[in-house]
Structure formats: C-alpha cells, structure tokens
A and B are shown apart, each in its own frame.
Chain A
C-alpha cells in the first residue's frame, strides 16, 4: 500500500532521516517506535507528502505521494490542531466540507464519530472549553471524518488520561478490524506499540534499526527475564557489568540511566549468583527488581540504550 524507498531528510548537518525504506501493507497497524527526536514525525510527514524528502521516494498504491488524491490520507498530528472558537460538531462539519463529503453522508458520519469517541455530550461545546482528553479525541476525529484509506497517528496517546487512552486504543483497533483501514502510528510508549501494532519499525537517529511483529521482536532477544539493579556506588557499575558478563547464564548486561539491566533465563534462580558477584566486588545493592522481557528490552538490546524522553 505504502512504499518508501531510501527516504532521507537532511537539515543542514543534521541527518533527521537516513535512508529509510519501508513497505506498509493494506489493513495493518504499523508502529514507528523510537525516542523523541528519532525521526518518526519527519518520516511520516514525508510519507504523507507534507514534507519534501532530501532524497528518496514514497508511493501510495503505486502513485507518487505528491500526486496522490487528497483525502486518501488522514493525519492526526502530535499537537492539538483545533479551532478554539468552533464547537466539536462545527469543526467536524468543516473538515468534512473541506474533503467534499456530501451533507447526506456527512451528518450521520459526524454523529457516529462523536458517539464512538464519547464526544456526543460535547457536540455543541466550544473547543476551548473541552478537557485535554476530549481535545485529543476530537483531534483524531478530525483526521478520519472523511474516512481515509490510510490514517496516520502521530503520538496519539501523548498526554492522555487512562480513560481517554483506552477509548483511543479501542477506536484504533476498530478502524483496522471493522473498516479495514491502514493505520500508521508513531509512539515512544512501548506498551502502545506492543498492544496496537501488527508490525513495528524501531527507529533511532533517523535510521531503521529493525522491522518485525512485536512477538518476533521479543523472541529475537530470547524469552529471558530482566533483573533491574541499582548499586549504591554507581561509579562501580562498569566493574559489576564486567564481572556479570563473564557468567555463562547471563545473556546480556547493560547500563541504562545509572542502573544495570541483566537479562537471563530463569533470572530468579540466578539471583544468588548475582548477589555473590555484588558481594565479591564489595558493593551494596540499593534497589533490585525482576520482570519479564518487554519491547523496551528489545529496544535496549538493539540500541544499547534506553528510550530517551
């Protein structure tokens, strides 16, 4: 459905996107996962034709993105892009008019959208008087009022309360499952990418690091658990890492934001060995926890670093 080849965007000396090549299938939720500043927004802006790439091409259904019919793509931007002095219904009517949706089709569609996104009671409320979560939901509704084939959601959960996030996630799933839409999602929230995406592209520093399903990505680094440890004297972190890395049951050990992440199969059984190593180095544990492997660990394994906020 969408084919991006060697997309590159350069701002002076900064390489925002570096040779990105991605194919997105029809009817899938495709996640762009990466920290802030990784080049996610720049990538999708180029993929929907809002930004000219320095080099590379984007084709949607075989047509150059700059020539593709307007209305094929619906974009829900990261920032709230709303008319503060219009009501929810007026805003949706306006965007439907801008996409030449006939009034007969528009009215029931707007009603359904308001209903699906729990905005019915606020239909005639001025946008400036809505809560943050309501504004986010309206932001999404405005992107899909013309029923586009491709929906691009840039950090849709940013700043959302848990209730609004749940409404949003359900709506995204429904778009794929009931309406067969292709959804492109950018996020730096691991859980969001994991829960919603059929496939995930991990990007950092403008480069595609890995592209696969969440399950495969997690399998790729093994099914081990993660021991997250903090020692009282963090200047000894490297000594401890060197020692633990020598242990044959330890899959990997890295330092993330001053903490030590140790990945190992059946980590609970390996805890005594780890504690012995700590004692041997004459350091003290300040904090320790054991958890299951997550997408974040995949990211850490691939990039050698944690997600930057």
Chain B
C-alpha cells in the first residue's frame, strides 16, 4: 500500500509547512470576511421581486353560499403589497401566467420565482376559516380539514430566486396569519403549506447567504494552485526523481496525494461554514447537512487536485505553477458562479440543451453546497449534482494522472 505511505508523507509535509497551511486556511477566511461585511446586508433592499403566479385555484363555496376564489385574492394581495419601510415601492412585480410560460420566464430570468397556487387552495382557506370559527366558539371539528401546498420554484443557482423565495415564504405565512386574525385573532393551524423546491427557505435572505457557499468553492478551487506548486516543487527538488526510480506507480503518488488534500477541502467547508455563521449566514440544516457538505467539499477537492496535476504537468517551477494556477483558478471561480451568478448560457449538443458552465465539476458542487447549507436540502435533492460533480471530478483525475505521468514520471527524452 505505497499510496498510504505517500498520503502520510504529504500529510506530514502539509502540517509541518506552517506558512503554506496558514495561507491555505486563512486566505479563504479573509475572503469570506470581506464578502460577509460587503454583502451581509444586501438583498434586504427595496426593489420589487419579479414573480410569476400560476393560479390553478378552482374556487369554493363559502358559508354564505357564494362562489369565492382565494387564489385570485392571494394574487391581488401579492400585487398590492408594498415594502413596509418604503410604502411607494411594491414588494412584488406579479405576472399571472401558465405553468409552461412561467418556466420559460424562469429560464430567461425574466422572473425570479414561480408561485403555483394549487386547485384546492380556496378549499383549504375555507377550511381554515371554518375551523377557526368553530374553535373560537369552543367546538372542535375533525371534518373538512383541507390542506393545500403552494409551490415556489426557481433556479437555486440564481440569487434573485434566493431573495424572492425568502420574501414569498415570509409573506405567505403572513397571509395565512392575516386570514385568521381577521376572523378571530387566534393562532392559525397550518392549512396552507408552502414548498420551495421541496425545501424550507429563509425569511430574510441576504446576498451573503447566497455567496457564502461560493467562497467555499473558491477556497477549494484555490487548493489547485497550492497543490500544483507542491507537485512542481517535488519535481524541482528532485524528490520526484527518487520516487520515479523506485517501485512507486503514478497512481500511488497521485492517489496518495489526493487523500490529505481532499480532507483539507472537507475541513475548509467546515471552517468556512463556521466563519460564515459567525458573520451572519442564515444557514439551514443539521449535522447531517454538514456531513453532506463535507462529502461535497471532498469531491470538489478531488477535482481541484486533479486540476493541480494538469497544471503541474506543464509548469516549469513552483512559481510558474502558482501563477498558472491563479490564472486558471480565478476565472474558473467566476465561471462556476462562486462570486456572483453568471447569466445562463445554454448550448445545444446532440439535441440536448445544457448550460456551458455545467461542464465544470465545481458548478455542480456550488449548486449542491448552496442547496444543502442555505436551503437545507437533503441527499434526495442534491444527489444528481453530487453524482455529476463526482463523475466530472473522476474524469478530471484520470486526465490529471495521465498528463502528469506522461510528462513527469516517464524517462526523460
């Protein structure tokens, strides 16, 4: 098990090189702090959120026998809402439309979020009213408890959605509360549920909440620069030559190196999460979310180390590796949306349309990390992104091993 000896060696070198370790761990924290202070209050501003409302509500008969449609009422309420601190500005720009059209509007980012009012919405509101009246007069009724679910959907990689969904969830709970207090003043039983991409959202979402996972991905991407420099130093110092003439295989060297560095990536996720929470990140989830986030971080780490192998295959010395690394890593961080979301760019290939940024494993890592940490999603929601990023990381690793072996581990010519 030569790769274990290599992993132990790399781990010892990593821990004993205090300056390098300091840089790896503190530099991203520094970035996180800048972003925390810069964007911590943003998103809570006074611009209307563009939403598409798909009202499927079929109405209901109320206690006086009239036909009412609470879906229409909710739509009108959404249109009428103003910012509490600025009465001249609407909270939402509402576009009422069909589901398919709403999806198109989402894709072009004309709207931030889509809100679907279900067919039984009026029934559930009427049920809420009836039961509230009954309970206020001391009667209990188990009959006619109808619940409905309003679905809010959108692109989780788009900051506009993050802010809009937070506001919508907050407003919908207010709406339900409003109905009950209008009747009795009592606390409502939950009759109207909201579902944001099947996960819970936050009520006061800021840009920092959206950007914090991006900082984690940026930190993991930065590992590529450090690891590339270390690999090149191994070439420069000649220690690679020693290993090369031994019985070590390329796999031992590169897989052995992968272990401590991908653990660093996992550790970075935890450290940066703690820092982000201290800076005000309103994160969702539990210990399970952290574990899931660490796994996602490790996968991104593997991709970064693979990128480092590719860089180290071409760099002549560690300075060149660091420079080349920065030249590749920073634009990649932008492309993956680590700093701010880029406009969607779709390309058509073999009859399928996909986002060009999706070819990078870190794009999926970011989406998955954001879902897990900010929206509190579980494995079922992020599995596809995690699997895709793992597959892409594996492809990158194979390319890295191939190039590094070819350029650095064969006999010189």
Contact = CB atoms under 8 A, between A and B. Distances in A.
Given A51-B412, A52-B411, A94-B9, A71 B239 contact: no
B411 A50 contact: yes
B247 A71 contact: yes
Interface stretch (B12-20, B157-165, B190-198, B324-332): B12-20
Contacts of B247: 70-71, 98-100
B274 interface: no
Interface centre among A45, A85, A90, A143 (most CB of B within 10 A): A85
Interface centre among A84, A85, A98, A100 (most CB of B within 10 A): A98
Instruction: State the main secondary structure of chain B at its contact with A.
Output: helix
B243 interface: yes
B85 interface: no
A48 interface: yes
Contact of A86 (B13, B244, B412): B13
Contacts of B66: none
A85 B411 contact: no
A70 B413 contact: no
> For the side of the interface on A, what is the size category?
20 to 34
Contacts of B237: 81-84
Among B16, B243, B245, B248, max chain A CB count under 10 A is at B245
A99 B411 CA distance: 18
A98 B241 contact: no
A14 to B, nearest CB: 15
B412 A52 contact: yes
A83 B413 contact: no
Interface in A64-83: 66, 70-71, 73, 75, 77, 79-83
B242 interface: yes
Nearest to A126: B16
Interface SS majority for chain A: loop
B139 interface: no
A95 interface: yes
A66 B238 CA distance: 20
A107 interface: no
Contact of B9 (A50, A82, A86, A100): A86
A177 interface: no
A132 interface: no
Given A81-B242, A86-B12, A98 B411 contact: no
B406 interface: no
B12 A85 contact: yes
Contacts of A99: 246-247
B145 interface: no
Interface in B9-31: 9, 12-13, 16-17
A83 B5 contact: no
Contacts of A48: 245
Given A52-B412, A86-B9, A86-B12, A97 B2 contact: yes
28 contacts: A45-B412, A50-B244, A50-B245, A51-B411, A52-B411, A52-B413, A66-B411, A70-B247, A71-B247, A73-B245, A75-B245, A77-B238, A79-B238, A81-B242, A82-B237, A83-B237, A85-B13, A85-B17, A97-B5, A98-B2, A98-B5, A98-B243, A98-B246, A98-B248, A99-B246, A99-B247, A100-B2, A146-B246
Interface of B: 2, 5-6, 9, 12-13, 16-17, 237-239, 241-248, 411-413
